[in-house]
Amino acid sequence: MQDLASIRREYSQDKLSRDKLADDPFLQFDAWLKQAIDAGLPDPTAMTVATVDTQGQPSQRIVLLKDVSAGGFVFYTNTGSRKAQELAHNPKVSLHFPWHFLERQVSVRGSVEKLSVAEVAKYFLSRPRESQLAAWASQQSHPISSRQLLLEKFAQIKRKFNQGDVPLPDFWGGYRVIPSHIEFWQGGEHRLHDRFVYSRQGQDWQIERLMP
């Protein structure tokens, strides 16, 4: 195997300074997300979601951001999944957006609130039909003996709902991550990266530069 310690590159695409930042972190995030989309990055809305179990063991997985506003960052999942069970125990969560090709990262710390049934249903009905059926077929995070068994369950669900709309499963929901901190990271030469963190102070945001 190649010497992993020797794999590195310099980051020199851009610099980040306080006068480039919006006063509102959501405006800054929207600008960076738009640039990631416009740059043709694969899966620009992909984000790592980190949760912690009852033993203090963190776990991570990648999901897709489905909405962002001044209220927070939204994603959807099976409520029987590991992440949902861990969020039920501890609502604190972190997100990470890895936009490597732009030499940028955004990390978010905060806590979640559950979305209303109306919000979840609106999004669920907008999904492709096959994705709706897959939500019914999968007991997310539970063991299964083979892929073939999963495909058989999917086929059964497809036959069951072969007419009309696919109903919203009662075990499927959504979360809004309400941030307390949002950090923007821009790669810099010689590992002298630019980092700025927005910290919530009541209704306002405090902005600080962090050392790399």
Q: What tens digit of pLDDT does each residue of 55-77 get?
A: 999 999 999 999 999 999 999 99
Hey, which residues are catalytic here?
Answer: 191
What integer pLDDT is reported at residue 91 of this predicted model? 98
Mean pLDDT of 179-195: 97
Residue 97 φ then ψ, to 5°? -110, 115
99 is in an annotated binding site: no
81 is in an annotated binding site: no
Average pLDDT, the chain: 96
Q: How far is CA 160 from CA 19, 28, 144, 167, in A?
A: 57, 45, 21, 11
In the predicted structure, residue 188 carries a pLDDT above the cut 90: yes
pLDDT band at 176, cuts 50/70/90?
A: very high
15 is in an annotated binding site: no
What integer pLDDT is reported at residue 98 of this predicted model? 97
**Residue for token pair 């195997």:** 1
Nearest-angstrom CA–CA distance, 136 and 31 = 36
What is the widest separation between alpha-carbon atoms in the chain? 60
Residue 149 φ then ψ, to 5°? -65, -40
What integer pLDDT is reported at residue 95 of this predicted model? 98
Mean pLDDT of 71-96: 97
What integer pLDDT is reported at residue 141 of this predicted model? 87
Mean pLDDT of 139-161: 94
168 is in an annotated binding site: no
- 49, 60 Cβ separation under 8 angstroms: yes
What integer pLDDT is reported at residue 1 of this predicted model? 79
Q: Report the residue count for the chain.
A: 212
82 is in an annotated binding site: yes
Determine how β-strand 92-99 pairs with β-strand 46-52.
Answer: antiparallel
- Return the percentage of the chain with pLDDT > 90, whole number: 95
- Return the percentage of the chain with pLDDT > 70, whole number: 100
What integer pLDDT is reported at residue 56 of this predicted model? 95
pLDDT band at 206, cuts 50/70/90?
A: very high
